Structure 1
């Protein structure tokens, strides 16, 4: 195809790849995602680069790791001068549109998007700044195990309210694109908040699953009993403050699967809108998530680690007219999305970038290539007190934090990460090579100092801004009612004809 494609990115929040049938889990009921996977390119080893919402999304947008942008945690300003894929595609003549969550902090709530259809579900200020100088203090915005102990069936939630608005706005925008006269290709990201905790879901999604269908964690909590990072995560989440029963674990996983089905129905509705508007053949659909979810594996919940449950994500590229259906084994990550979109927008031609990025185009993989791949990760938020880094190279995953023992896993024979080669064989040449690579790639002392300085600044600024009158940075969608539906400055017949899709072809006598 010579024409420049439209690009529709469907993003879930906290969706671990291992929960999906497309990645081998038989529990979840996701017919729409299953079809995209059958017809598309499925990346079997896709990762986030920083397993927390805002830093992961900053990586997605910028193609740069947190150490390059300073976007360390869920309350840090993503610099406005950082070029994003929205800037690059917009400069290349694309309409760039955001619907849903992107967790931008600070006054810039667009970061290159020409249009933003909804507000965000999370705050845009610095109130969720972690403080590494007070590691024993549990802040009131930390995760709570109430998400697990109160899991179950509900009628409505804050998150459902949000995703219903996002889904409606995104579908409406697709209809508008089909009807208007703007012939530019579009790149739209539709970012839902499900299946993020709290683990509650309404019918009919809850009732799609019987309790007996719900699988339980494979890896017991005892595996992480002597892991200091796991102990910090348990503290951060208040996990030792209340007892967690098997029934509660099952209910939480039940709700999580139900929320995945809810997300899947939104995927079906959006792809259905593409089909109805005859945009589908010219649109590349990409399914991603910002990070995963531990779901009780190793006794852990939520994210904030580089174990497979928290850091491995789905990545599906669906464009049957462009890419044959196949699977890719190479490790890839969200940092690769920016150069991939640039290559897709230019039909494979090299794009000019205003600043260096840390990723590589995945277009060769979409066209059938495969290799050993490599992924680099950084985590600098709550749950650690020093930077934690990760290297996934071919079959090996190396995790290092200056305060913790090293971890090394051979995922080809140990997918559950039960055999820590670093503890068992401290002189293994694979460990020594990856340790040397990490030491050459990162100046962790400097990164540690930069994170502490950033936290100190933001804690002070947030405290100062909380005094007196407060001006919000939260995005406020503007809707000009004078231009909606039918108004007296519009000609009725022209308006109705323009708004109808498909357009009526007059019959000839």
Structure 2
């Protein structure tokens, strides 16, 4: 077997697919990521399985749709029975570590029922989504009293940044004209520099810890999930990134009065949320988006530092790098803030794969427009590691053939993304019960169909209307397309992999052999 490659699995939280130089942004500076794309494969039609942190990540890590793994929103526990990439890679000899965020909620009740001690070696892996938690930090610590095991806060205190919660008081706050602390939670302050010096910011610290993990893993192949907290809110960047961009760099919002004329009830309810109301104001966009862009360029600069380190220690040529995000950010597009719904700004994600080895030479610099899903990474990683993909469990499809330029007779016809907005205020406006808030998107790359429980569907033609301004969900001329995609969605539901405790190969080997095993039913 060829030498197993290291796998550097990088995720940036809330990074829009179109906020990179290599994906078409006109002014953002992302030379490191652009270089990865120029010498790798840039999948331009990649979709998250759920445009919210928690369920998106659970799909990334398990290789399964949210419908299948059940962790449909933030802080919904992932069932103890679900396996993740660590469970697949560790038996193949890999050290599988985490630096940064997972937003995983452990299944306490499940572990109690099985008698698993959460502090045991098995319990820790079950609590951390299968990763060795080299350093987990989900990045949101608004309370003044923070768990004493938050390493980043301890690090800040060691550097002299004192306080009950240095994460908030230094890394995510600015300083006012009179020396007062201005919280980064309030977007009016995000044009100011974070109080913390850049070299001690979250992004810098996370990169340092990634280097520590790599340094300590020299004796075996490793998979590191390097999960950056930024550019997720609070939108506040350290100098010099806080004012690197200005209002002149802000792309006009993809929001028109026309789309308000035919509002879908769920979209209208989300437009009433605070983040949507505020991001609909140009004053807010012109203050937030430059900071958002600065955080992205800061991340890019630290990736340059990390790649230089891999080259310095001689591991770059055998390290496959995947650069992606859990979901996007509306930033005022469609009169919305945050994410959760299915417009391209929210549901489409960057997906760049750089394999430095000769077997990937045929695809260097390619833009691949085939439909790709977040769940495709786990089977890809298993194949890179030389393992057998458990096709009775994993619902994604390995990207290895696409990356190596192999002939592929047929590829995915549809991509799917799901939402469960039971926790959001929109549910009250729509007068729904918590079990009535499911929505699901299916796209064939041109047509995008969104099914909402209890409401009419949406339909967009991404070819003639790439900005998704014209909802064709009630257009009689598009009845055939709606019916086709509704049937495709029904077919998708019927094909979910629920028989996960026995392999397809085992089933095939046992088929029709009952008599040979001594079960003589049906004989005269």
The TM-score, its normalising length taken from structure 2, stands at 0.74
Q: For the structure 1 residues 10 and 427, does the alpha-carbon distance in structure 2 shift closer, same or farther, using more than 3 Å as the test?
A: closer
State the match for 1:29 in structure 2. 29
Superposition deviation, residue 380 in structure 1? 0.9
Are 1:234 and 2:274 an aligned pair? no
Deviations 1:342-366 (A, max 9, x none): 11111xx64236x522211111211
Return 5+ residue gaps in structure 1 as ranges: 124-143, 444-509
- Please state whether the residue corresponding to 2:42 is helix, strand or coil: strand
Superposition deviation, residue 32 in structure 1? 0.6
State the match for 1:109 in structure 2. 127
Counterparts of 1:50-449 in structure 2, within 5 Å, are 50-106=50-106, 108-122=126-140, 148-156=187-195, 161-178=201-218, 182=219, 184-220=220-256, 222-224=258-260, 226-237=263-274, 239-240=276-277, 245-321=281-357, 322-323=359-360, 324-325=363-364, 326-346=366-386, 350-352=388-390, 356-368=393-405, 371=411, 373-381=413-421, 382=424, 383=426, 385-425=436-476, 427-442=478-493
Question: Does the CA-based 8 Å contact 1:10-1:267 persist in structure 2?
Answer: no
Moved more, 267-276 or 432-441: 432-441
- Please state whether the residue corresponding to 1:409 is helix, strand or coil: strand
Superposition deviation, residue 13 in structure 1? 0.2
Distance in 2 between the 1:238 and 1:273 partners? 39
RMSD of equivalent CA atoms: 2.6
- Please state whether the residue corresponding to 1:309 is helix, strand or coil: helix
- Please state whether the residue corresponding to 2:384 is helix, strand or coil: helix
Distance in 1 between the 2:249 and 2:275 partners? 29
Superposition deviation, residue 217 in structure 1? 1.3
Distance in 2 between the 1:413 and 1:244 partners? 25
Q: For the structure 1 residues 251 and 433, does the alpha-carbon distance in structure 2 shift closer, same or farther, using more than 3 Å as the test?
A: same
State the match for 1:494 in structure 2. none
Superposition deviation, residue 440 in structure 1? 4.1
Superposition deviation, residue 315 in structure 1? 0.4
Deviations 1:125-170 (A, max 9, x none): xxxxxxxxxxxxxxxxxxx996544432222379984433322111
Deviations 1:179-203 (A, max 9, x none): xxx2x21100100011112222222
Deviations 1:257-277 (A, max 9, x none): 111111112211221221111
Deviations 1:67-103 (A, max 9, x none): 2121011111112221111110001111101100001
State the match for 1:478 in structure 2. none
Number of residue pairs aligned between Structure 1 and Structure 2: 415
Distance in 2 between the 1:286 and 1:64 partners? 18
Question: Does the CA-based 8 Å contact 1:396-1:411 persist in structure 2?
Answer: yes
Relative contact order, higher structure (CA 8 A, sep 6+):
1
Deviations 1:416-444 (A, max 9, x none): 1122232223653221111122234449x
Deviations 1:4-38 (A, max 9, x none): 11100111000011111111111211111111111
Q: For the structure 1 residues 175 and 427, does the alpha-carbon distance in structure 2 shift closer, same or farther, using more than 3 Å as the test?
A: closer
The TM-score, its normalising length taken from structure 1, stands at 0.76
Superposition deviation, residue 387 in structure 1? 0.6
Counterparts of 1:11-50 in structure 2, within 5 Å, are 11-50=11-50
Q: For the structure 1 residues 210 and 103, does the alpha-carbon distance in structure 2 shift closer, same or farther, using more than 3 Å as the test?
A: same
Q: For the structure 1 residues 438 and 164, does the alpha-carbon distance in structure 2 shift closer, same or farther, using more than 3 Å as the test?
A: same
Question: Does the CA-based 8 Å contact 1:372-1:394 persist in structure 2?
Answer: no
- Please state whether the residue corresponding to 1:218 is helix, strand or coil: coil
Distance in 1 between the 2:133 and 2:289 partners? 36
Q: For the structure 1 residues 239 and 91, does the alpha-carbon distance in structure 2 shift closer, same or farther, using more than 3 Å as the test?
A: same
Distance in 2 between the 1:340 and 1:11 partners? 16
Q: For the structure 1 residues 302 and 221, does the alpha-carbon distance in structure 2 shift closer, same or farther, using more than 3 Å as the test?
A: farther
State the match for 1:465 in structure 2. none
Question: Does the CA-based 8 Å contact 1:13-1:195 persist in structure 2?
Answer: yes
Return 5+ residue gaps in structure 2 as ranges: 109-125, 142-182, 428-435, 495-524
Question: Does the CA-based 8 Å contact 1:206-1:258 persist in structure 2?
Answer: yes
Distance in 2 between the 1:271 and 1:163 partners? 15
